[in-house]
Amino acid sequence: MIRTVEFAPHASAPVLAAYSYCEAVTGQQARNFAYGIRLLPTPKRRAMSALYAFSRRVDDIGDGALADDVKIARLEETRALLTRVRGGAVEEDDTDPVAVALAHAAEVFPIPLDGLDELIDGVLMDVRGETYETWDDLKAYCRCVAGAIGRLSLGVFGTEPGARGAERAPEYADTLGLALQLTNILRDVREDAEGGRTYLPADDLAKFGCSAGFAGPTVPEGADFAGLVHFEVRRARALFAEGYRLLPMLDRRSGACVAAMAGIYRRLLDRIEREPEAVLRGRVSLPGREKAYVAVRGLSGLDTRHVTRRTVRRRA
């Protein structure tokens, strides 16, 4: 069982200022993520913001315009900073607010900081231009950049005392991260192609005649793009179904946070499934009112109860 922490010890003014900075970064850049963490109690919300701000820094290095060798050097500098955080070598008056907030969060919650090393490893794969022949290859990448985030988040959420099957909670958190990442890959397929990146497995692209790529707003001649998208959507749905088994293991507000974030991506997946070619014309997204509805649904516990009933029926 991963312990649950609801109340943080007193935080100093410098630590609170560091958390405020991380929350500002999250509010400005997180989009879908921010809708979920609003549902958390203050200590958990702050800790999640610290995780997001550090992760955002890593992603921004990978996505930026610097030369690849400079990116690699910056990523290794960030890893060195993480080593300082892990070793308790970041003081409250450190000039890096993200490091200060993350160090405090790691003192309060049992956050598996090695997951941030995995994130750096995944972004290094991006910088080096790695491609993926099979789903197993892509899954290894997704576990670094998204599954690890699921496991890190679980360190903040904790599991409910006595939750059945809680020993598998990290596995379900990891799987839910994979589901979100595969949805992201489908949504960003053209944007990634324009940036010279291809994430979907080469085996899948060849199967549906899509090996030529997606740099334009229309489907390549002879390609079954809709077939490819529907194939990947089914894979993502299976991952969501497995990952959702985490929900009954969480307290109400942590479960609401996860249900809100996952629910937004599931609805995004629905839109992509209905109109696959829309992802070639621009980024598919949900309006704010729909995201707010998903957040309210998560807070109501509807998704958690649905998963619980389904699990009970399986055991019957």
| Cα separations in angstroms, 118 against 25, 27, 44, 69, 226 | 22, 24, 22, 19, 33
Instruction: Please indicate, yes or no, if residue 101 is contained in any of the structural domains.
Output: yes
Mean pLDDT of 287-316: 60
What are the tens digits of pLDDT across the range 65-115?
999 999 999 999 999 999 999 999 999 999 999 999 999 999 999 999 999
Q: Does one domain contain both 153 and 81?
A: no
Q: How far is CA 32 from CA 36, 99, 188, 268, in A?
A: 7, 23, 15, 11
Q: Is the pTM of this model over 0.75?
A: yes
Looking at the structure, tell me whether residues 97 and 235 fall in a common domain.
no
Same domain for 170 and 254, yes or no, is yes
- For residue 82, the domain's CATH number is 1.10.600.10
* Co-location of 167 and 41 in the same domain: no
Residues 142 and 288 in one domain: yes
User: How large is the average pLDDT for residues 1-7?
Assistant: 47
Same domain, 204 and 139: yes
Q: Say if residue 140 is in the same domain as residue 220.
A: yes
What is the extent of the structural domain holding 101?
A: 13-110
Domains of the chain: total: 2
Sign of the CA dihedral 212, 218, 224, 229?
Answer: positive
pLDDT at 301: 58
